[in-house]
Amino acid sequence: MSTSLLCCIPLPVVGAHGLIVALALAGGAVASAADGASTADARRLLDAGKFEQARAALEPIVAAEPKNAEAVCYLGWAELRLNQPEQAVTTLERAIALDGTRSLYFQVLGDACGQMTQQASFFAKPGWARKCLTAYSKAVALDPDNLDARAARMGYYWHAPAIAGGGMDKAYAEAGEIRRRDAVRGAQALADLYVSDKKFAEAFAAVDELITKNPENMPARYQLGRLCAITGQQLDRGAAALQAYLQYQPQGKEPGIAPAHWRLGMIQEKRGDPAAARAEYEAALQLAPDFAAARDALAKLR
């Protein structure tokens, strides 16, 4: 198995592609006997990218309620985002042992195994890769409409070699399943694959078709801006789309405002305006202090 290829298996931003960054954690409100916190409180911290605070809130909940599978899963998710994938795997497997019926638990386990694949030794990589794909497939089997799990599995197919179960044909098929269920996310998925194949015209066509059919859909505008930021093409159009999105209040799992600032910063960099780029990256970090992509972009900015 190719070490370099296996190292490319992404940790989906629950939404590699996003990201990525749309969260799928459906929180409950089980109160902690320790300090009155709840899994819902912890979920809000996770949503805000405050992973250290989320872990601090979750540890006493899990200690007081060791059979609270949801809290255990959230703790594993926080550990993963704090770059502790091995600990996260152990914690997430514990959540699954408590409740093996939740698609989310297997999805986040797949993320953790994907990160372990990147970090593992050459001989350990195949085993972690198999665990990653198995977890994503189980998540999809438990809930075929879990689009975060489908996007994560698409990312695996996209980056993993054929010997590890990957392949672009599988990735495109998964993108088609996503589009069948959600036009916006499907357009994003297809655009990502087209860009990786250097098919830029097809990528813009997929997003433009979405906007033509849904002219008032603001997440579609975000996807246009994102595509422009990634490709470096149609930058003025992308900036206008993202600036419009910044005036919008995202709902549910729609892309957040912090990622929109980050993508706009990317466009400003490509336009040759580092001061404007810096302002956008800083705005993203004010909203999400643990937003690693924005932090890295700001650090690299000259």
Q: Encode 148-160: b = buried (16+ Cβ within 10 Å), e = exposed.
A: bbbbbbbbbbbbb
The domain boundary, picked from 134, 160, 181, lies at 181
Q: Are residues 164 and 202 in the same domain?
A: no
Q: Are residues 226 and 79 in the same domain?
A: no
Q: Are residues 107 and 204 in the same domain?
A: no
What confidence score (pLDDT) does residue 290 get?
84
What confidence score (pLDDT) does residue 33 get?
36
Q: Could you list the residue range(s) of the whole structural domain that residue 147 is in? A: 1-181
d(CA 79, CA 86): 9
Please tell me the total count of domains within the chain. 2
Q: Are residues 216 and 244 in the same domain?
A: yes
Closest CA to 71 of 92, 100, 49, 101: 92
What confidence score (pLDDT) does residue 48 get?
82
Q: Is the pTM of this model over 0.85?
A: no
What confidence score (pLDDT) does residue 220 get?
94
Q: Are residues 30 and 112 in the same domain?
A: yes
Q: Are residues 176 and 198 in the same domain?
A: no
The domain boundary, picked from 137, 166, 181, lies at 181
179 phi, psi to nearest 5 deg = -65, -35
What's the pLDDT tens digit per position in 96-109? 999 999 999 999 99
The domain boundary, picked from 148, 181, 214, lies at 181
What's the pLDDT tens digit per position in 126-171? 999 999 999 999 999 999 999 999 999 999 999 999 999 999 999 9
CATH number at residue 275: 1.25.40.10
Residues in the chain with pLDDT < 70? 1-37
What confidence score (pLDDT) does residue 206 get?
95
What confidence score (pLDDT) does residue 49 get?
83
What confidence score (pLDDT) does residue 281 get?
98
Residues 6+ apart with CB under 8 A from 234: 204, 228
